Amino acid sequence: MTHFLDIHKTPKDDLRRILDQALAMKNARTGRPKGAADDDRPLAGRMVALIFEKPSTRTRISFDMGIRQLGGQSMILSGTEMHLGHGETIADTARVMSRYVDAIMVRTFSESSLLELAHHSDVPVINGLTNRTHPCQIMADVMTFEEHRGPIKGKKVVWAGDGNNVCASFLHAAGQFGFDFVYTGPAQLDPEQVFIDGARAEGVNVRIERVAARAVEGADLVVADTWVSMHENRTACHNRHNLLKPYQVNARLMSRAKKGALFMHCLPAHRGEEATSEVMDGPHSVILDEAENRLHVQKAILRWCLGI
């Protein structure tokens, strides 16, 4: 069974093939209405279940649109309205769903729920975000970088702020695609050591730099994300704003990066917190390309999972 659970669990060659196919499919759609099906409809007659235990705008819409463009059908399911892990075991849900649908995308809280679902599923399972990782987002981000600046291998990527689940997938990607990674943020919010060690084991030059201005020197890409993730309580995390203020990505900080550096944010953003509108809407920003590329790269991931 070919699941897409995390970037570091997917063979390097397959990741590259997914990106190549995503770009080819994107180019083939140039000038088409967004709702039009692709010429090739490999998902015809297939159903994909999209399970959301957390809110989503981009993941929900991009998967749904992508499945339609590939000629398939999708059903969007709310985790709270299912018996997933409460009322029946995740294993039973996985076994039953495998009798109905051809693939499952799940956005859930704990990584163990994702892994348990995948373990007991007879159809491919795709990670649409857990509290620990967000691989579809980073595949779109690598695609976006390479569209704008060519191969990401050997480039310097700086993550500013909370070392969260999206940051973790960037560390996985650094190992698979071979770019340097600098984390700049307060020690309390460092990425989990296991992600840093994993990247280093793949030969990645991972650096932690507490001074943001120093971290972004010579950066090819600067990335920010929300200071409080979806699974965290904003009120309880109020102090975090003081910790993270020095790591806000603003025009002054971006000016320390390489000329022509890109700025990314997976969205949703709290403008004026982790990044200013000046940066988000400025010449370095590729935030809308990242969002669009979710669509194309997830179509390629689905095709890879289903072998179609």
Say whether 188 is catalytic.
no
Residues that contact ligand CP, how many (by CB under 6 A): 9
The CB density around residue 1, as the number of other CB atoms within 10 Å, is 11
Stretch that binds ligand CP, among 28-36, 65-73, 215-223, 261-269 (CB under 6 A): 261-269
Find the catalytic residue in 6, 68, 180, 266.
266
148 belongs to the catalytic site: no
Which of positions 98-137 make contact with ligand CP (CB under 6 A)?
129, 137
Binding test (CB under 6 A) with ligand CP, winner from 59, 69, 113, 133 = 59
Per the structure block, which two tokens stand in for 137? Answer: 């987002």
C-alpha 195/C-alpha 23 separation (Å) is 28
First vs last C-alpha separation in the chain: 14
Beta bridge partners of 76: 50
Q: Binding of ligand CP at residue 56 (CB under 6 A)?
A: yes
Does residue 43 sit in helix, strand or coil?
A: coil
- Beta strand pairing status for 221-224 and 180-184? unpaired
Q: Evaluate the CA torsion angle 270, 271, 275, 280 in order and state its sign.
A: positive
C-beta of residue 62 within 8 angstroms of C-beta of residue 126 = no
Residue of 301, 294, 9 lying closest to 173 (CA atoms)? 9
Min CB(234)–ligand CP separation in Å:
15
Q: Which of 3, 68, 107, 296 is catalytic?
A: 107
* 136 labelled catalytic: no
Q: Give the integer Cα–Cα distance in Å for 303 and 11.
A: 15
Residue 58 in contact with ligand CP, rule: CB under 6 A? yes
Stretch that binds ligand CP, among 4-12, 25-33, 52-60, 199-207 (CB under 6 A): 52-60
200 is catalytic: no
Residue 13: CB minimum distance to ligand CP, A: 26
Between 124 and 135, CB nearer to ligand CP: 135
Is residue 57 a contact residue for ligand CP (CB under 6 A)?
A: yes
Instruction: Give the helix/strand (H/E) hosting 253.
Output: helix 251-254
User: In terms of CB distance, is 130 or 206 closer to ligand CP?
Assistant: 130
The contact set with ligand CP (CB under 6 A) reads 56-59, 129, 137, 266-268
Q: Which residues are catalytic?
A: 107, 134, 137, 225, 266, 294
